[in-house]
Amino acid sequence: MMMRTLVCIGVMAVLLCSININAVNGQLSSTFYAKSCPRVQSIVKTVVKQAVAKEKRMGASLVRLHFHDCFVNGCDGSILLDDNATFTGEKTAGPNANSARGFDVIDTIKTQVEAACSGVVSCADILTIAARDSIVELQGPTWTVMLGRRDSPTASLSAANNNIPSPASSLSTLITSFQNHGLSTKDLVALSGAHTIGQSRCAFFRTRIYNESNINAAFATSVKPNCPSAGGDNTLSPLDVVTPTTFDNKYYSNLKVQKGLLHSDQQLFNGGSTDSQVTTYSTNQNSFFTDFAAAMVKMGNISPLTGTSGQIRKNCRKAN
């Protein structure tokens, strides 16, 4: 999505946002690992680049992992934990079952980071950096990632089921969900732009393409062969049919002509309060990039564990 000359404007805005956030919580810092693990960002970047080159969809999957992590008790790496005798984790929750992926990429990064600086970098921070680098690999904007998160030793299946917005959500439900996490309606619309990449399971959009009226008829018809009215829950369709593997503003252009794949997507342009922001992004990619980057920094600061809270997992799939 991005011409590099446009990124600078967005980066400056995000840097200011990052500085402000850092001043407020006084705990996360862009230089947190400057001395303790100076190679961490280059390691993450290299592994993400390789993973996305092998399968472009992986970029979207890593961004989604970060989002689903942060919306469940904060950005603490809890989504990465496997079930154990003590708790049932988040991987089998409704929003994640048969769709959350990219865990092996995080494992590869963690192994290499541990070899470079054992017991220093959290899985939560690795996931946050990986999300940023995934966007960059798919031609999207870059931003300064704030670091210093620690890992939760536990996970919550119920919180994952209750806190992650459903693809069937109304606009008011989406706004409330984001507000509950300290994110504004502007952040909601900007972050939803991540659906310019990636794919969705038929189970998440079947009702929309067969039963809803605010959908482009030709678009609905084109999707139905890959999503039958019964069965085929796990078949996939791109969220952005125009440029499915490029991070750009086509998602918003699609919404303007009723080609949002998910019910929750089209809610952003359906005669409501967010229509004007969708229109702006559909014609001004630079504005979208700037706001998206700022919102990603803000989302990455949802309730992090810092200081002596939590732990630094040696294996992202299990507590120490």
Region 58-67: mean pLDDT is: 98
Region 216-226: mean pLDDT is: 97
pLDDT at 216: 98
Residue 160 C-beta-side C-alpha neighbours within 13 Å: 27
Question: Is residue 143 domain-resident?
Answer: no
Question: Is residue 71 domain-resident?
Answer: no
Q: How far is CA 149 from the centre of its chain?
A: 17
Q: Is 104 annotated as a binding residue?
A: no
Question: Is residue 222 domain-resident?
Answer: yes
Active-site residue, 68 included? yes
- Output the DSSP codes for 42-88: HHHHHHHHHHHHH-THHHHHHHHHHHHHHTTTSSSSGGGPPP-SS--
- In whole angstroms, what is the distance from residue 193 CA to residue 240 CA? 10
Question: Is residue 264 domain-resident?
Answer: yes
Give me 190's structure tokens: 């900007």
pLDDT at 6: 35
Distances from the Cα of 196 to the Cα of 110, 166, 286, 292, angstroms? 28, 18, 15, 12
pLDDT > 50? residue 200: yes
Question: Is residue 169 domain-resident?
Answer: no
pLDDT digits (tens, 9 = 90+) for 65-90: 999 999 999 999 999 999 999 999 99
Distances from the Cα of 11 to the Cα of 7, 48, 84, 301, angstroms? 6, 21, 41, 17
CATH number, domain of 253, equals 1.10.420.10
pLDDT > 50? residue 15: no
Q: Is 74 annotated as a binding residue?
A: yes
Give me 145's structure tokens: 């990632």
**How confident is the prediction for the chain on average, in pLDDT?**
93
Q: How confident is the model at residue 27 (pLDDT cuts 50, 70, 90)?
A: confident
Q: Is 72 annotated as a binding residue?
A: yes
- In whole angstroms, what is the distance from residue 243 CA to residue 259 CA? 13
Q: 200 with 261: CB under 8 angstroms?
A: yes
Region 208-222: mean pLDDT is: 98
Q: Is 212 annotated as a binding residue?
A: no
Q: Which of 66, 68, 181, 263 is catalytic?
A: 68
> How many domains, in total, are found in the chain?
1
Question: Is residue 124 domain-resident?
Answer: no
Question: Is residue 119 domain-resident?
Answer: no
Region 168-193: mean pLDDT is: 98
pLDDT digits (tens, 9 = 90+) for 116-158: 999 999 999 999 999 999 999 999 999 999 999 999 999 999 9
pLDDT at 23: 33
pLDDT at 17: 42
Q: 200 with 237: CB under 8 angstroms?
A: yes
pLDDT at 49: 98
Instruction: Tell which residue, 255, 298, 302, has the closest CA to residue 275.
Output: 255
pLDDT > 60? residue 9: no
pLDDT at 8: 33
Q: Is 240 annotated as a binding residue?
A: yes
CB atoms within 10 A of CB 219: 17
pLDDT at 31: 97
pLDDT digits (tens, 9 = 90+) for 233-289: 999 999 999 999 999 999 999 999 999 999 999 999 999 999 999 999 999 999 999
279: containing domain = 185-291
pLDDT at 315: 98
pLDDT at 198: 96
Question: Is residue 261 domain-resident?
Answer: yes
State what percent of residues in the chain have pLDDT above 90. Answer: 92
Give me 302's structure tokens: 């949802």
- 10 Å CB burial of residue 275 (0-12, 13-18, 19+) is middle
Q: Is 165 annotated as a binding residue?
A: yes
- Output the DSSP codes for 216-266: -HHHHHHHGGGS-SSS-TT-EEES-SSSTTS-SSHHHHHHHTT--SSHHHH
- In whole angstroms, what is the distance from residue 256 CA to residue 223 CA? 18
Which residue is it, tokens 């440029």?
243
Q: 272 with 171: CB under 8 angstroms?
A: yes
Which are the contacts of 291, defined by CB distance < 8 A and separation ≥ 6?
186, 187, 190, 281
